[in-house]
A and B are shown apart, each in its own frame.
Chain A
Amino acid sequence: RKEVEQDPGPFNVPEGATVAFNCTYSNSASQSFFWYRQDCRKEPKLLMSVYSSGNEDGRFTAQLNRASQYISLLIRDSKLSDSATYLCVVPGMDSSYKLIFGSGTRLLVRP
């Protein structure tokens, strides 16, 4: 099993829709997880951190299911500006500070 796996998408949704991405991870000892956003030709930027069962920030909700070893990201009321690639990030097996990036899920929000 890969350290982190994501559905590559793309997810093509209309403005205002709710969309959810899932990510599975293999290291059961991981304590912290992250969702990063990457715009085309830009560096990744942190969207949300997840340390316990979940986290909410405005239209964005991240949830953690430790038993099933997956993390989800829910985006409500999608905006055109949400179009980007969303990267699921987990700590590496040998160090919690060496972050392993998923392949990313591409989101396209259409008018």
Chain B
Amino acid sequence: SAVISQKPSRDICQRGTSLTIQCQVDSQVTMMFWYRQQPGQSLTLIATANQGSEATYESGFVIDKFPISRPNLTFSTLTVSNMSPEDSSIYLCSAYLFGEGEKLFFGSGTQLSVL
């Protein structure tokens, strides 16, 4: 299994500002992902965080709005840029562990409210 520490756990931000969310895994993982969960909805994949290269974004998400860093195999950040109230959501970091019982682990999430 893996332990994923994500911070901040919550924040309230003014529109037009940016917030960087950090995700630390307690072991080296090949694949890390960022998801968004809007109120009352399920999880939507934002991007795959690739170690040492640019993230791979899903349809509807762009690098300018959601820049992602992945400097090594245990750490990633997601920035929500130029925020608007529509960005209010829970953002979840996740890591995919291979091998026996492979599965996707999640951080505890960041609840973002944009005023």
Contact = CB atoms under 8 A, between A and B. Distances in A.
Interface string A43-74: 11110010000000000000000000000000
Contacts, number: 41
Contacts of B108: 42-43
A99 B104 contact: yes
Interface in B29-82: 31, 33, 35, 41-45, 48
A30 interface: no
A106 to B, nearest CB: 10
**What bracket does the count of chain A residues touching chain B fall in?**
20 to 34
Contacts of B45: 92, 98-100
A102 B42 contact: yes
Nearest to B31: A97
Interface of A: 34, 41-46, 49, 87, 89, 92, 95, 97-104
